[in-house]
Amino acid sequence: MYVMLIDSNPVVRLAVSALLKDSLQAEISEVPAAEPALQEATQKGADIAVLELHLHTSNDGLELCRRLKSQHTSMAVLIYTADNSARSVISALGAGADSYVHKTVDCHDLIIAIRGTLSGQRVLALGEGAVDSAKAECPWQCDVGLTRREQEILALLLRRYSNEEIARELYLARQTVKNHVHRVLSKLGVTSRRQLLT
């Protein structure tokens, strides 16, 4: 297994690299920025890129994710970041990320997430706490097939709202919310709310 670890923080690269070498017996390439990552991907390829969402600027990880997924279609991309806002999660999925893991997960769960992603599963491990303090307005675009209403539903799901709370927030019937939730989970490739949030 060949893993490309892309993070501008050298301490994170050192720690995660040691973990992956020990737990996965993987060959690791540590890369600090987008351009070297693209060069590395072209020269050597990788089974999976473990990518920080914010490298040197706020969205350079998103653009790198798009480019990796368009230029190297067989490579999986797992976003590994301290940002678990609804906007960032949806934007990363829209950029083609296969999985999204918050940096508060423990080492064991990160390994499980990488293995799951490599086997074709979508892993969303968003850590503790609310993921977005704003109302469920989604002025950004999402390219994973979610309608605007479904993006609003997902933003509230990521904030751990119940169906009843979503219905009140968006002035919808509970059955309508249930239908939307089912479609959102299906489009994201997860089977339950628990799988979405753990």
The single-letter code of the amino acid at 77 is V
Question: What's the domain count of the chain?
Answer: 2
> pLDDT confidence of 77, banded at 50, 70, 90?
very high
Q: What is the DSSP letter of 171?
A: T
Residues 119 and 153 in one domain: no
Q: Is residue 134 one of the residues assigned to a domain?
A: no
Q: What is the mean pLDDT of the chain?
A: 85
- The average pLDDT across 92-121 equals 91
Residues 6 and 99 in one domain: yes
pTM for this prediction: 0.74
Does the pLDDT of residue 138 top 50, yes or no?
no
Q: Is residue 130 one of the residues assigned to a domain?
A: no
Residues 108 and 155 in one domain: no
Does the pLDDT of residue 133 top 60, yes or no?
no
Does the pLDDT of residue 144 top 90, yes or no?
no
CATH number at residue 47: 3.40.50.2300
Residues 96 and 155 in one domain: no
Residues 15 and 80 in one domain: yes
Residues 168 and 120 in one domain: no
Residues 39 and 101 in one domain: yes
Q: How far apart are CA 33 and CA 24, in angstroms?
A: 24
What is the extent of the structural domain holding 184?
148-197
CATH number at residue 163: 1.10.10.10
Residues 113 and 42 in one domain: yes
Q: How far apart are CA 98 and CA 76, in angstroms?
A: 6
pLDDT of residue 75: 96
- The average pLDDT across 102-126 equals 90
Which segments of 72-162 does DSSP mark as H helices, in order?
Answer: 86-94, 107-118, 148-158
Residues 100 and 30 in one domain: yes
User: Per-residue pLDDT tens for 46-62?
Assistant: 999 999 999 887 678 99
Quick one: CA dihedral 48, 54, 57, 62, positive or negative? Answer: positive
